[in-house]
Amino acid sequence: MFKSKICDLIGIKYPIFQGGMAWVADSSLAAAVSNAGGLGIIAAANAPTEYVREQIRKTKELTDKPFGVDIMLLSSNADEVAQMVCNEGVKVVTTGAGNPGKYINKWKEHGIIVIPVVPSVALAVRMERTGADAVIAEGCESGGHVGELTTMALVPQVVSEVNIPVIAAGGIGDGRGVAAAFMLGAEGVQVGTRFLVAKECTIHENYKKKVLNAKDIDTVVTGRPTGHPVRVIKNKLARQFQLLEKECAALEKYEELGRGALPRAVRDGDIDMGSVMAGQIAGLVNKEQTSAEIVEEMFAEAEAVIKRMLSRGGLCQE
Ligand code: TUI
């Protein structure tokens, strides 16, 4: 039921991408999601180019299915990673935190499928004109770096203004979210937070527990004054960021407080003074499963809710 243009474009069974979560999405998670029939994505984030190359090669050993690399455009080595993915024969590139326009021609020449994350209609339209194959419309329910619009408002507006497929992201954690995204006109979904607790996700146990225990109102966006707001689960670090905002502190103070905060949570398990990035849907994520179980369960549920709605009694009928 959920086969879409995105499945044909990339050669995947289910129209689901695993978000390229910085410091989280490595070869273990990406290969597991690709083997489950979705699109696993390795996060380049601000890692050294050689590390990302290694992750690509490891993923190729773990799966013969398509996978992608997400390039975080704020990273100082983005130019180098953008070239390296061409040399390594990566099939799909997604981008975040900026406009990847200057790389698109080169990626297309190398046969790469290019799918930027967009937080607005304007950037989506620009990406289509520049040659992107699809866009990921990401609402601010997402974890990590976020734009202003919600998924509910952003996705249908982007769908109305572009002719390329749109993948919905932000706040999607189960089959109801998948079904809703398709109702908005999306041809696929990107899911981050639920994969944080996948068995193949290699983050620290403390981080997983923080996500599993989170309630609906436990995330907050910090760092707005820096121009790079991020959604995290509330903790001591988030409260200190909020204090900086209250005090109208200098930007260097944010820089100081944020330095190394993501690996501190992901790798060291410091969930008090580390940055525990997760989306608003964390309250719904309450069990650790394999990536395959997550993918299968989400699409079985999506199909069931749509069938229920279409069947007599599901909707009020005159
Ligand atoms: O990129 C993400 N999520 C991320 S990146 C990240 S690492 C980081 N850490 C601290 C500060 C900043 C980054 C953690 N999470 N998601 C995709 C995303 N892209 N969300 C929003 C955007 C975006 C924002 C503006 C994409 C394009 C854009 O364009 C501005 C322009 O130049 O037009």
Q: pLDDT per residue over 287-303, tens digit each?
A: 999 999 999 999 999 99
Q: How far apart are CA 161 and CA 166, in angstroms?
A: 10
Statement: residue 231 has pLDDT above 80:
yes
Q: Mutate which of 21, 77, 117 to test ligand 1's pocket (most atoms within 8 Å of Cβ)?
A: 117
Share of the chain above pLDDT 70, in %: 98
Q: Is residue 233 classed as helix, strand or coil in its secondary structure?
A: strand
What is the predicted pLDDT for the residue at 314? 57
Statement: residue 145 has pLDDT above 80:
yes
Instruction: Calculate how far, in angstroms, residue 124's C-alpha sits from the geometric centre of ligand 1.
Output: 14
Instruction: Calculate how far, in angstroms, residue 249's C-alpha sits from the geometric centre of ligand 1.
Output: 22
Q: pLDDT per residue over 153-180, tens digit each?
A: 999 999 999 999 999 999 999 999 999 9
Question: Which residue has the least CA distance to atom 22 on ligand 1?
Answer: 97
Instruction: Calculate how far, in angstroms, residue 241's C-alpha sits from the geometric centre of ligand 1.
Output: 18
pTM, entire model: 0.97
Is residue 287 exposed (0-12), middle (13-18) or buried (19+ Cβ within 10 Å)? exposed
Statement: residue 317 has pLDDT above 60:
no
What is the predicted pLDDT for the residue at 313? 59
Please give the number of the atom of ligand 1 that sits closest to the Cα of 45.
7
Question: Which residue has the least CA distance to atom 8 on ligand 1?
Answer: 145
Residues 6+ away with beta carbon under 8 Å from 11: 65, 66
Instruction: Calculate how far, in angstroms, residue 96's C-alpha sits from the geometric centre of ligand 1.
Output: 5
Instruction: Calculate how far, in angstroms, residue 98's C-alpha sits from the geometric centre of ligand 1.
Output: 6
Q: pLDDT per residue over 23-41, tens digit each?
A: 999 999 999 999 999 999 9
What is the predicted pLDDT for the residue at 240? 97
Question: Which residue has the least CA distance to atom 14 on ligand 1?
Answer: 144
Inter-axis angle of helices 121-130 and 101-109, to 10 degrees?
A: 40
Averaged pLDDT score across all residues of the chain = 96
Question: Which residue has the least CA distance to atom 33 on ligand 1?
Answer: 99
The mean pLDDT value for 242-254 works out to 95
What is the predicted pLDDT for the residue at 46? 96
Residue 100 has φ and ψ, to the nearest 5°, of: -90, 15
Q: What one-letter code names the amino acid at 87?
A: N
Question: Which residue has the least CA distance to atom 20 on ligand 1?
Answer: 146
Q: Which residues line ligand 1 (CB under 6 A)?
A: 22, 45, 72, 74, 96-99, 117, 119, 123, 138, 144-147, 228, 230, 277
Share of the chain above pLDDT 90, in %: 96
Q: pLDDT per residue over 208-230, tens digit each?
A: 999 999 999 999 999 999 999 99
Q: How far apart are CA 275 and CA 45, in angstroms?
A: 15
Closest CA to 231 of 143, 137, 138, 151: 143
Instruction: Calculate how far, in angstroms, residue 305's C-alpha sits from the geometric centre of ligand 1.
Output: 32
Residue ranges and CATH numbers for the domains of the chain are 11-203+281-311 (3.20.20.70)
Q: Mutate which of 145, 190, 195, 257 to test ligand 1's pocket (most atoms within 8 Å of Cβ)?
A: 145
Q: pLDDT per residue over 262-280, tens digit each?
A: 999 999 999 999 999 999 9
Question: Which residue has the least CA distance to atom 30 on ligand 1?
Answer: 98
Q: pLDDT per residue over 92-109, tens digit each?
A: 999 999 999 999 999 999
Statement: residue 53 has pLDDT above 70:
yes
